Amino acid sequence: MFPFFSCFSLFSFFIIFFLSLSCPCFPARTIPDQVTVVTADAHNATWHDFKRFLDACRGSHISGMSELKKYFHRFGYLSLAETNFTDTFDTQFESAVVLYQNRLGLPVTGKLDSDTISTIMSPRCGVSDSAHAALPPLHAARHYAYFYGRPRWARSSPMTLSYAFSPNNMIGYLSLSDIQTIFRRSFSRWSAVIPVNFTETDVYDSADIKIGFYRGDHGDGQPFDGVLGVLAHAFSPQNGRLHLDASESWAVDFKSVGSKVAVDLESVATHEIGHVLGLAHSSAKEAVMYPNLRPRTKKVDLKMDDVAGVQALYGSNPNFKFSSLFESENSYNQAFGFSSTHSNWTISLSLLLFIFFLPT
């Protein structure tokens, strides 16, 4: 019926195919990630102890492995309702490890290799990795995910969401103005790519998005665990709660903070806002929505995966330009030592795939 379109689609397929064969490509799941095991004073004590399970595999029996199973249960990889886990690396736990490696873009070995242990020990978001629905087969090349039911904010267009800071749950060593500036920048990163505006209000109780810093059990069923470990969590639309662990050493500028356990507030704020908007965790390591963030690491620029995911929910900001995204991708590739030629090839191929497989 549309012969020109058919020929164009076939031609485009071959162009993309030959581009992928003729140049090096660095997919999200294989981007090099430094395996860094930090010292005990810079880690959640329980999670730091997991390093002794290095190279454990099916059949291993190591005292304390039940604690690691509780970690996997907490983040959605073991579905056992019981909490009486054993210290044996059984078949069920092996399946959980494989699932964990798949979802977090790690080499799939089925054992607790250095990449896996390092990621497990790394501080992360408290939102479960299983809190999302699987995408249909068409979406297999994508890494972003949504919460069950694909919830989003329902507002008239143009959409504006209000946010406010808890008057009783803040931290004293950072000024309110500094925190406001950080969140203003984080919200603006998302509003730059979708037709959603964010405005701060002083009326906390009526705000769409409620932000606060809390310690331990704070009444939402997801208690914080002290320094590092879980850094923050947020709830899917249209709940609007965004909670950060008050026990962390939050930083707005690493140059003025010498702590080894300092956590970048803007990076975590940007990630949690993604949850507030409806994005679950991504398996692309470079994405803002990847669940883990090491101490003294800044990760605030939205990547192609983040943008594709959130635009599928809300559409594109009419002023959004791909060039700004490419600059961010180039910076990331250079940080990992990729050549500009490789980066340009990868970005071109990614853009073509993004256009052809954009959700409808």
| Cα separations in angstroms, 301 against 186, 189, 200, 347 | 9, 8, 22, 16
The pair of three-digit structure tokens given for residue 221, joined into one six-digit string: 């069923």
Residue 289 in marked binding region: yes
Name the fold adopted by 132-325. Collagenase (Catalytic Domain) (3.40.390)
Tell me the C-alpha distance between 288 and 275, whole Å: 11
**To 5 degrees, how large is the angle CA 227–CA 231–CA 236?**
155
Residue 245 in marked binding region: yes
Residue 125 in marked binding region: yes
Encode pLDDT of 42-60 as tens digits: 456 669 899 999 999 999 9
Residue 226 in marked binding region: yes
pLDDT in tens, the chain (360 residues): 444 434 444 444 444 444 344 333 333 322 233 333 333 344 566 698 999 999 999 999 999 999 999 999 999 999 866 567 999 999 999 999 999 999 999 999 999 999 999 999 999 999 999 866 555 443 445 799 999 999 999 998 889 999 999 999 999 999 999 999 999 999 999 999 999 999 999 999 999 999 999 999 999 999 999 999 999 999 999 999 999 999 999 999 999 999 999 999 999 999 999 999 999 999 999 999 999 999 999 999 999 999 999 999 999 999 998 776 766 556 545 544 444 344 444 444 455 444 444 554
The pair of three-digit structure tokens given for residue 152, joined into one six-digit string: 């989003």
Encode pLDDT of 164-174 as tens digits: 999 999 999 99
Residue 243 in marked binding region: yes
Tell me the C-alpha distance between 303 and 335, whole Å: 14
| Cα separations in angstroms, 218 against 80, 128, 169, 225, 245 | 25, 18, 10, 11, 10
The domain limits of the chain are 3-26+338-356, 45-121, 132-325
Catalytic residue among 67, 94, 266, 272: 272
Domains 45-121 and 132-325 share a fold: no
Question: What CATH code would you report for 45-121?
Answer: 1.10.101.10
Cis ω on the peptide bond leading into residue 238 (within 30° of 0)? yes
Residue 233 in marked binding region: yes
The pair of three-digit structure tokens given for residue 297, joined into one six-digit string: 């690491």
Residue 225 in marked binding region: yes
Task: Please identify which residue in the block is written with the tokens 């950080």.
Answer: 182
Tell me whether residue 266 is one of the annotated catalytic residues: no
